[in-house]
Amino acid sequence: MTEPDPPGKGADEALWGGRFDGAPAQEAVALSRSLSLDVRLAPQDVESSVAHVRALEDAGLLDADEAAALEKTLREVGEEIAAGRFAFHLADEDVHSAIERAVTERLGDVGAKLHAGRSRNDLVVTDLRLWLLAAARRIDGGIERLTRALIASGREHADAVMPGTTHGRAAQTVTLGHHLLAHAWALLRDLDRLDQWAARASVSALGAGALATSTLDLDPEATAGRLGLDRAFPNSIDAVSDRDFVQEFVADATILGTHLSRLAADVLRWTDESLGWVSMDEAYATGSSMMPQKRNPDVAELARAKAGRLAGHFVALTSVLSGLPLGYHRDLQEDKGPAFDAADTLEATLGALAGCVETLRFDVAAMRRAAEVEALYATDLAEELVRAGVPFRRAHRQVGELLKRLDAEGRSLRGLGDEEWRDLGLPEGEAILDPDRSVRARSMPGGPSPASVLDQVQAIEATLASRSTGVRKS
């Protein structure tokens, strides 16, 4: 991209300048100009413009030669922008006006026909829909990669016992595979959200014009089809006003970012030297500028932090949209910053976190040792009493009182003799303290037993395999 012309040059070339006697103040130009941000929409703007050209041709407003010349020139301009050879002017408020200006300069009156029956209002919203749908397909691929990394490790560690926690404290025995798949199930919901979002977002606004469509004989449904979108707008005012699809994309991004942050938090806890459960590949760690011994888990820390950035975008965008009357307002120019950064943030985070998870090395022996803490089996003991006919609340109190007494005596459950177990009504009590027995006993669907984990792996793989529709097919 070349630098814009100096102030003054090309100021009378603005698309809307006919009603005005003079050029806008330079301060107003600086505030209004969005080109540095929305230049990313250039490929989508070219495609939207080509589809509009064909609509004008169908309506008899362009002949075949004019339509061909416009399409050829539009694609040439798009290629120049992509290659960084395009010369932007100061009067180019945005990428849409820059492309139209260039086409008009090259084709004269034929180029001046391009904007008939359309407005930047319906053009920009269509471009942004196309851009976000393409970004969502890339994000979709990143989610699938991370999900597959989790289920591969979940299958490998289906029987690796570890402590499960509530309130950040050891609570009951689970398996590593079960814990990893908990994150995978959350990511499946993210994929489903993106699929549903894409179905709602696949709408063309072209033909809505500035507000009230056009008196020209255009066919919005045909234009939508040319763009690969599912349908045309149902109401022209809604078409140019609607930013639900941006807000929903950023909301879905925020939820996904939260899931990535929670996964990163688990990785960070497990890699803490005080636990020593997981080693992170050095490709996903960094060193310290002062302390030679450090291998810092920066990828996981950054992934943990990105959720806040994404949530901030949702709040910012919602604040812009809240209270806006229907119709287009320049406030809506502020929709692209949150949307673009949300997509960029997710793509970068998903790629780095997937690579990190794919290369984690788990110390299952250390996890198993941590799972031998006797308090983890208190619920198992209470449920064994329930199986023998004791009401649960009484069984709960009985086990709690036993643990309190043993603490006071400086003893442990494993130190109880056979007769003491029998007196408690738990003749097989010591066997209940076995980690493998504990997780195998939790064999109901969705539980942490090795068999259940493998069933979950198969279910997640089947869901991924069945995704023949959705965001990547939009």
Mind listing the domains of the chain with CATH numbers? Answer: 25-116 (1.10.275.10), 121-369+465-473 (1.20.200.10), 373-441 (1.10.40.30)
174: three-class secondary structure by DSSP: strand
**Residue 469 pLDDT:** 54
Kindly state the average pLDDT of the residues 209-230.
98
Q: Kindly give, in sequence order, each residue whose CB lies less than 8 Å from that of residue 49, ignoring residues fewer than 6 positions away.
A: 70, 74, 99, 100, 103, 114, 123
CB distance 278 to 365 below 8 Å: no
21 vs 369, residue with greater confidence = 369
- 474 — pLDDT class (breaks 50, 70, 90): very low
Let me know if 36 is a catalytic residue.
no
Using the predicted structure, report yes or no on whether residue 17 has a pLDDT greater than 90.
no
Report the alpha-carbon distance of residue 314 to residue 335 in Å, rounded: 10
- Write the pLDDT tens digit of every residue in 357-367: 999 999 999 99
**Residue 9 pLDDT:** 37
Side chain identity, residue 39? V
Kindly state the average pLDDT of the residues 250-258.
98
**36's tokens:** 């540095």
Which of 17-21, 254-258, 425-429 is modeled with the greatest confidence?
Answer: 254-258
**Residue 7 pLDDT:** 36
Exposed (0-12), middle (13-18) or buried (19+): which is 178, by Cβ within 10 Å? buried
Mean residue pLDDT across the chain: 93
Which candidate in 167, 274, 466, 468 is catalytic? Answer: 167
- Write the pLDDT tens digit of every residue in 410-452: 999 999 999 999 999 999 899 999 999 999 999 999 999 999 9
CB distance 17 to 24 below 8 Å: no
Q: How many helices (H) and strands (E) are present in the chain, helices listed first? A: 20, 6
**Residue 13 pLDDT:** 54
- 318 — pLDDT class (breaks 50, 70, 90): very high
Its pTM stands at 0.93
Kindly state the average pLDDT of the residues 221-242.
98
Let me know if 396 is a catalytic residue.
no
Which candidate in 32, 288, 319, 443 is catalytic? Answer: 288
Kindly state the average pLDDT of the residues 142-165.
98
- 11 — pLDDT class (breaks 50, 70, 90): very low
Kindly state the average pLDDT of the residues 359-385.
96
- Write the pLDDT tens digit of every residue in 165-218: 999 999 999 999 999 999 999 999 999 999 999 999 999 999 999 999 999 999
Using the predicted structure, report yes or no on whether residue 1 has a pLDDT greater than 60.
no
**Residue 292 pLDDT:** 87
